[in-house]
Amino acid sequence: MTIHKEGYTTIAITILLIFVINAVVDYKYYNITLLRWFIYIFSAALFLIVLQFFRNPSRSFSNGENLVICPADGKVVVIEETEEGEYFKDKRLQVSIFMSPVNVHINRNPISGVVKFFKYHPGKYLAAWNPKSSTENERTTTVVEHKNGTSVLFRQIAGALARRIVWYVKEGDQVVQTEQFGFIKFGSRVDVFLPVGTKVNVELNQVVKGGITTLATLS
């Protein structure tokens, strides 16, 4: 396991903060043993929590010409037909994955193809399970066209804790299935919009792994 590059600055700031807090406590409260041990334990816990946010575990990724691979770790919270109003402007099959703070936060391309559309939207920070988060929160929308002509839309959505979305793609890019397309700091949600009638290979409340779990099969 390695640490993702998006975590370097946050981890450095955390280490500096821990050093300052512990130095102050050791200097001013050296005679209060209970307080010092509380700060030591809190500091260790804080460091480990931040470290796990940015972990990048080694994995053997799934792949397949007609497979849609899960773009994120988390739990499937939505499988339904809905109106996609930003790009397709018609009915699509939506599959949403909720990413908790303990999940790996790397986002991976669900299919290979050409990026036909990309847009970043500033917005609110509603809880990720709020239905309005898909259209009102800070988010990105990416559409990739598969070589068979099928387009898949996937959307990074910030939540109450996630305050920064990172993306690595732009329109015209040729992307490869399971390679990284972005990162959501401290969790949140990823929505995937598929053609109606697509065979979905996951169930509601199923725990999924980014780059490993097969989300759907394209016809």
What pLDDT is attached to residue 32? 83
Average of pLDDT values for 210-214?
A: 96
Question: What whole-number distance in Å separates Cα of residue 142 and Cα of residue 144?
Answer: 7
**Same domain as 114, residue 13:** no
Please state the pTM of the whole predicted model: 0.86
Which member of 96, 133, 151, 188 is catalytic?
188
Q: Per-residue pLDDT for 162 more than 80?
A: no
pLDDT in tens, 100-126: 888 888 999 999 999 999 999 987 766
Q: What is the DSSP string of 48-72?
A: HHHHHHTEE--------TTEEE-SS
What pLDDT is attached to residue 106? 93
Comparing CA positions, the residue from 7, 6, 12, 10 lying closest to residue 167 is: 6
Comparing CA positions, the residue from 8, 111, 118 lying closest to residue 67 is: 111
Name the residue range of residue 6's domain.
2-56
Q: Per-residue pLDDT for 187 more than 70?
A: no
Q: Could you give the number of structural domains in the chain?
A: 2
Residue 82 lies in a domain: yes
**Same domain as 73, residue 52:** no
Q: How confident is the model at residue 199 (pLDDT cuts 50, 70, 90)?
A: very high
**Same domain as 73, residue 49:** no
Number of neighbours of residue 56 by Cβ within 10 angstroms: 17
DSSP bridge pairs for 92: 82
| Eight-class DSSP state of 32 | -
Give catalytic status of residue 188 as yes or no.
yes
Question: What whole-number distance in Å separates Cα of residue 145 and Cα of residue 128?
Answer: 27
Residue 62 lies in a domain: no
